[in-house]
């Protein structure tokens, strides 16, 4: 019996304890100052890429948001790349570009929908900016985002930056409220990783890359245009960092079912990205950010697999010593219970994604999530986004 208890404790530590330790270490790292050459006068020419597929409900808001960005128009190129939309997305972009001829808006059209990364690579050949920035059609930037965030790219060692996702509908339901808490924790984790080396997790709402280090989007075909693109930068010893100043706003599904659908798609891509890191680690091609990569692989791949053994040991232990069920009263502590339940949920999603990846199940073409319909003009104007 003692052996079973010790095994259960060990598996619990590897499932949750190391995860918590990693968070504590990264939170401590996040509090440290940047060791970067940040230049507030750094103002490169930028190419902003907006991939679209059936975005008629939001594309006007997106373009209005982009032309309000406080950045010289002669240094700004906006490229909308559409992947064979079946709605009026293309027509709305053309109308907007005609009404706002001062803005440098270029519309590119793919005749066949082959996935987001493919669309971005098609647009990349038309970019004339020194910095390429990707932003999804349902994500909105505050006017000062470029002035606040681009100075971090002035450091020669930094190849890419991304920022925090802020929810426009954070108080709509218990799902959005818990997601906001989760995002705050993840943002702190990514900041700590960035100050340690690089972060492995990028966001599609704002991700900016120096053109000189960007060969293509998702060069390893992981299915993730943001995190998959970062792999090559880390391999080339170019840092990819999270900066709080690169913030953007979007909505999030208000139902648990839609939340799970989104997380499964994202986790499937993340597992493929991390497997690529594993391959590069074994080949000795990861150096500067090795610590963060190893921690990420353990957290998102090894951890969920150990979790299976932990669940099995828990069942055996409870059948042998039922009163040990009192240990689970820790879930009644609000903050502890939240993080434990969120970890359990994420582990199950990751396990599903690992199995899907093992059977080569892919989610290459981006879908229309239900959160698009949650966007409205009032919430954007209230925050000065349009």
Residue 212: its pLDDT value, please? 94
d(CA 69, CA 112): 31
Average of per-residue pLDDT across 175-201: 92
Tell me the DSSP string of 254-293. SSHHHHHHHHHHHHHHHHHHHHHHHHHHHTT---TTHHHH
pLDDT digits (tens, 9 = 90+) for 155-164: 999 999 999 9
Please give the share of the chain, as a percent, with pLDDT higher than 90: 51
Residue 341: its pLDDT value, please? 77
d(CA 287, CA 271): 21
The domain locations on the chain are 42-256
Residue 72: its pLDDT value, please? 95
Average of per-residue pLDDT across 265-289: 87
pLDDT band at 327 (very low <50, low <70, confident <90, very high): low
d(CA 354, CA 53): 28
- 345 phi, psi to nearest 5 deg: -60, -45
Average of per-residue pLDDT across 270-299: 86
Phi-psi region of 245 (alpha: psi -120 to 50; beta: other; left: phi over 0): alpha
pLDDT digits (tens, 9 = 90+) for 287-312: 777 888 888 888 888 888 888 888 88
Evaluate the CA torsion angle 305, 310, 311, 316 in order and state its sign. positive
**Which has more pLDDT, 358 or 83?**
83
Mean pLDDT of the chain: 88
If you classify domain 42-256 with CATH, what class do you get?
Answer: alpha beta
Residue 7: its pLDDT value, please? 78
Helix axes 174-196, 290-297, angle to 10 degrees: 150
d(CA 96, CA 92): 6
Short-list 118, 90, 142, CA closest to 246: 142
pLDDT band at 256 (very low <50, low <70, confident <90, very high): confident
Residue 351: its pLDDT value, please? 86
Residue 328: its pLDDT value, please? 63
pLDDT digits (tens, 9 = 90+) for 9-66: 788 777 777 778 888 889 999 999 999 999 999 999 999 999 999 999 999 999 999 9
pTM listed for this prediction: 0.89
Q: Is the pLDDT of residue 276 over 80?
A: yes
CB 256 within 8 A of CB 175: yes
**177 to each of 169, 170, 181, 348, how far by Cα in Å?**
9, 5, 7, 21
CB 262 within 8 A of CB 253: yes
Q: Across 127-141, 212-226, 294-308, 325-339, which has the greatest mean pLDDT?
A: 127-141
Helices (H), the chain: 2-12, 18-30, 59-67, 89-99, 116-124, 145-149, 174-196, 227-235, 256-282, 290-297, 303-320, 334-358, 377-382
Residue 140 per-residue DSSP state: B
Q: Is the pLDDT of residue 143 over 90?
A: yes
Residue 369: its pLDDT value, please? 54
């Amino acid at each position: 019996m003692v052996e079973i208890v010790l095994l259960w404790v060990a598996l619990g530590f590897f499932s949750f304890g190391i995860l918590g330790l990693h968070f504590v270490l990264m939170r401590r790292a996040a509090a440290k100052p940047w060791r970067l050459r940040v230049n507030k006068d750094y103002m490169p020419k930028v190419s902003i890429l907006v991939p679209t597929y059936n975005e008629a409900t939001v594309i006007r808001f997106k373009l209005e948001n982009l032309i309000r960005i406080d950045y010289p128009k002669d240094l700004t190129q906006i490229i909308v790349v559409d992947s064979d939309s079946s709605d009026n997305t293309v027509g709305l972009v053309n109308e907007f570009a005609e009404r706002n001829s001062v803005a440098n808006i270029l519309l590119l059209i793919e005749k066949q929908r082959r996935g987001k990364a493919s669309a971005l690579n098609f647009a990349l050949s038309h970019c004339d900016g020194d910095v390429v920035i990707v932003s999804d059609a349902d994500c909105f930037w505050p006017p000062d985002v470029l002035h606040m965030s681009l100075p971090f790219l002035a450091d020669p060692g930094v190849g890419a930056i991304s920022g925090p996702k802020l929810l426009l509908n954070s108080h709509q339901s218990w799902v959005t409220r818990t997601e906001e808490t989760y995002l705050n924790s993840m943002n702190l984790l990514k900041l700590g990783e960035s100050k340690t080396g690089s972060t492995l997790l990028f966001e599609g709402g704002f991700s900016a890359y120096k053109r000189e280090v960007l060969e293509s989007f998702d060069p390893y075909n992981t299915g993730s245009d943001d995190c998959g693109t970062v792999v090559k930068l880390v391999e080339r010893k170019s840092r990819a960092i999270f900066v709080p100043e690169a913030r953007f706003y979007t909505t999030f599904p208000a139902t648990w079912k839609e939340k799970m659908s989104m997380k499964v798609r994202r986790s499937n891509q993340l597992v493929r990205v991390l497997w690529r890191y594993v391959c590069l680690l074994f080949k000795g091609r990861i150096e500067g950010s090795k610590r963060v990569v190893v921690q990420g692989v353990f957290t998102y791949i090894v951890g969920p697999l150990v979790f299976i053994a932990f669940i099995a040991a828990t069942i055996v232990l409870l059948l042998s010593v039922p009163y040990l069920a009192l240990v689970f009263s820790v879930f009644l502590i609000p903050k502890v219970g939240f993080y434990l339940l969120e970890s359990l949920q994420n582990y199950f999603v990751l396990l599903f994604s690992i199995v899907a990846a093992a059977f080569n199940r892919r989610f290459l073409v981006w879908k229309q999530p239900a959160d698009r319909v949650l966007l409205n003009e009032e919430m954007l104007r209230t925050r000065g986004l349009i």
